[in-house]
Each structure stands twice: as structure tokens, then as C-alpha cells.
């Protein structure tokens, strides 16, 4: 399935795939591909960083569910539904997010660029940690990789990504994206 170009629909598609992986998780303590993380930490990461980003930059308060420690499935669902409601709200079209590092940009574009793409990449982490289908949309993998490669110095200096993992030059887009963001595409739980 091709991903939409509109922020609201792309979030619905990507978050829907992540939701499927959340619902398919049998052990929230399973180790994840991010060093020191378990499956629940993938959810924790996604539900904890965006609320502050949106509140500070756009005055948007997302609903709060239980913690990922308490109930990772419900934590994700409340958060995901809240983000989707913001993107589906017609008033969002006129709102901006302002950040000292990013400047000002349309709120929906900010969510799409920084958050939805993060959900997309972390879908692999959760799927791999829990033994589920870890295939990602190849066209979106290539699109993200192309954009990120142009900003590699900024990305590496942010501390948000690990060191690049070398992969064959002729590897598919997903493998190259994973290597770029510091994931070993061959990682499996011990």
C-alpha cells in the first residue's frame, strides 16, 4: 500500500501499522534493537516526547493516558488517537509550530516530519523486538533516507541517532535506512 502525501492520512496509515504491532506484542519486556530498550520503551519514547514538543511549540495539549509501564497498549492508543484528532481538526491547517531550532512551520507538517516519521522507523524496532512482520514501505524508506542523508551532520550531532551501521551499497531502501539511523538490520533478540 502506498502511503499518502497528506499528514493526517499518512499518520493514520503509519500509526495504524504501529498499532497492529502494539496489539501483537506478547512480551513488553522483550529486548529491542535500541541499546538498553525493551519493547515497552519503544512505546514510552513515542508517547512521551511529542506532548512537550507540541505544547511548547504550538500550545497543543494532547490527552494523557496511562504510562507505558502501567499499560503500554492503552498508553499508545490514547496518544495515537490524540495526535490523529489534532491532524484531523480543520483548525490545524491554520496553526504553526515554532521551535528555536526549527523556526516556524505548519503544525501538520511538523507532526508529519518529526513525529510520524519517528513512528514509522520505530515500527521496525517494535516488530523486530517482538517477532512480528518488520517490513516497512520501501518508497517511504527511500524518501526518508534521501532527506536525512542531506542533513547527516545535524542528525549525528543531535545525539538522537546511533552511529551509522554499514550495509552493502546495493541493499534495499529499508536496510539502508536502518543502517543510516544506527540500527543493525540483522539484529535479533537473544
Identify which of 150, 110, 118, 103 has the alpha carbon closest to the alpha carbon of residue 46.
118
pLDDT in tens, 36-86: 999 999 999 999 999 999 999 999 999 999 999 999 999 999 999 999 999
Handedness of CA 140, 55, 36, 28 (dihedral sign): negative
In a domain, 12, yes or no: yes
Indicate if 51 and 142 belong to the same structural domain. no
CATH of the domain at 123: 1.20.120.450
Residue 171, domain member (yes or no) = yes
* Domain region containing 27: 7-134
β pairing state of 103-106 and 96-99: antiparallel
How many CB atoms neighbour CB 103 within 10 A? 9
* Per-residue pLDDT at 159 exceeds 80: no
Same domain, 161 and 123: no
Residues 107 and 177 in one domain: no
Residues 96 and 118 in one domain: yes
Of 92, 117, 134, which marks where a domain is finished?
A: 134
Domain presence at residue 31: yes
Q: Which of 97, 125, 134, 120 lies closest to 32 in space, CA to CA? A: 125
pLDDT band at 116 (very low <50, low <70, confident <90, very high): very high
Query: What pLDDT was estimated at residue 35?
Result: 92
| Dihedral of the alpha carbons of 132, 6, 150, 106, in degrees to the nearest 10 | -120
In a domain, 1, yes or no: no
On whether residue 189 sits in a domain, the answer given is no
Amino acid at each position: 500500500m502506498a502511503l499518502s502525501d497528506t499528514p493526517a492520512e499518512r499518520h493514520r496509515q503509519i500509526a495504524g501499522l504501529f498499532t497492529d504491532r502494539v496489539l501483537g506484542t506478547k512480551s513488553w519486556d522483550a529486548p529491542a534493537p535500541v541499546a538498553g530498550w525493551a519493547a515497552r520503551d519503544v512505546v514510552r519514547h513515542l508517547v512521551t516526547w511529542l506532548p512537550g514538543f507540541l505544547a511548547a511549540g504550538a500550545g497543543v495539549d494532547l490527552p494523557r493516558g496511562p504510562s507505558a509501564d502501567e499499560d503500554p497498549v492503552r498508553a499508545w492508543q490514547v496518544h495515537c488517537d490524540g495526535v490523529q484528532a489534532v491532524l484531523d481538526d480543520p483548525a490545524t491547517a491554520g496553526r504553526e509550530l515554532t521551535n528555536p531550532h526549527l523556526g516556524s512551520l505548519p503544525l501538520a507538517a511538523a507532526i508529519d516530519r518529526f513525529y510520524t516519521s519517528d513512528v514509522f522507523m520505530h515500527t521496525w524496532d517494535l516488530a523486530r523486538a517482538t517477532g512480528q512482520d518488520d517490513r516497512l514501505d520501501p518508497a517511504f524508506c527511500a524518501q526518508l533516507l534521501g532527506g536525512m542523508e542531506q542533513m547527516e551532520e545535524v542528525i549525528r550531532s543531535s545525539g538522537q541517532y546511533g552511529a551509522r551501521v554499514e550495509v552493502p551499497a546495493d541493499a534495499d531502501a529499508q536496510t539502508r535506512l536502518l543502517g543510516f539511523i544506527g540500527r543493525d538490520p540483522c539484529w535479533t533478540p537473544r
